[in-house]
Amino acid sequence: MTALPALERRDFGVLPDGRRVELVCLRADGIEARVMTYGATLQALLVPDRTGRIEDVVLGHDDLDGYVETRSFYGATIGRYANRIARGTFAIDGETFTVPANDGKNTLHGGAEGFDRHLWEIAETGEGAEPFVRFSRTSPDGEGGFPGQLTTSVSYRLRAGELEIGFDAETDRPTVVNLTNHAFFNLGGTQNLTDVLGHELAIEADEFLPVGDGAIPLGAPAPVAGTAFDFRASSSIGKRIRAPEEQIRQGRGYDHNWCIRGASGGEPRLAATVRNPANGLEMQLLTDQPGVQFYSGNFLDGTSVGKNGQIHRMGDALCLEPQRYPDSPNRPDYPSARLDPGATYRHRSIYRFTHA
């Protein structure tokens, strides 16, 4: 049997305005990542479990129409600002900027037309032992209300047992930047969905950010000790998801930022580990970001039909989104999301898979 190429490009459909969307397939050491130019999106991620069965472990759609018609953020690049900005306003050097609210009174994931709703260019590809693709896009000054022309690239690189996603950005005017990937993971695979409440999760954090109405952080980080948010030791996601705690009520489950131990901005360090006991598949997330938003799929409500005709219901997937803290532009006590001309925004996250 002829081996499949390390990198392959395919058509993935046509946008309503006639522009074509490409799908890039990367293959290395038994893992395959499929990423598309619309939204610089991770459309599929195929990895073997302990029996050798290949599982696609990210939710999404089988065709382009599913992504265009319903904005669910499946596997998408999120920007300019991932997560929430309170009241859709922030100030830089005394000047106030307004970004349109699309989540009640707040701005979520870049607003109504974030990076996930744009077509990216393929800037570079590479084959060999570590196949990769790099997407690029220039966001003009004022797009979505954000200041500065932002030149951005997103790279996907496969190596033995892992997928690395890298983000880089530069600006010509002081601005705020917070980029991430919004993959919805289910380590049981997307062929016959079952919920992830039995997945076991550990998060390398002693503190998290309690939130108020609209999921905006209330203030300083709080200890996880003694709460349903303590994942310092591995625990099933469903064990405390219905705990009688105010923060569980606020998020309808988990939808909070954990403050990852260790200094951010250097080499990626371990942030979280999730394991599916049913098939032995384990994923480690390593990142150079200060926080990780853990979301337990609380708002999957059965209205979205994904791959293989599967209906997506509450708890059918989890998200681990490495990023700056929510609402950082309005919180000088949080790690800064500011980017100035001459500086480069960098974010590196690694998704490492094993099975036992």
Catalytic (active-site) positions: 182, 321
Give how far Cα 196 sits from Cα of 233, 248, 273, 344, Å. Answer: 18, 17, 14, 37
Residues 97 and 100: their CA atoms lie apart, in Å, by 10
> What one-character-per-residue DSSP string does 30-73 give?
TEEEEEETBTTEEEEEEEE-TTS-EEE-B---SSHHHHHHS---
Phi, psi of 293 (to 5 degrees): -85, 115
Residues 351 and 284: their CA atoms lie apart, in Å, by 6
Beta-carbon contacts of 218 under 8 Å, excluding residues fewer than 6 positions away, are: 209, 210, 211, 212
* Residue 248 parent element (H or E): helix 246-251
The amino acid sitting at 128 is: G
Beta-carbon contacts of 108 under 8 Å, excluding residues fewer than 6 positions away, are: 83, 84, 102
Nearest C-alpha neighbor of 298 from the set 312, 280, 277, 284: 312
For tokens 């939710």, what's the residue? 59
Residues 96 and 14: their CA atoms lie apart, in Å, by 38
At 159, list the tokens: 């190596």
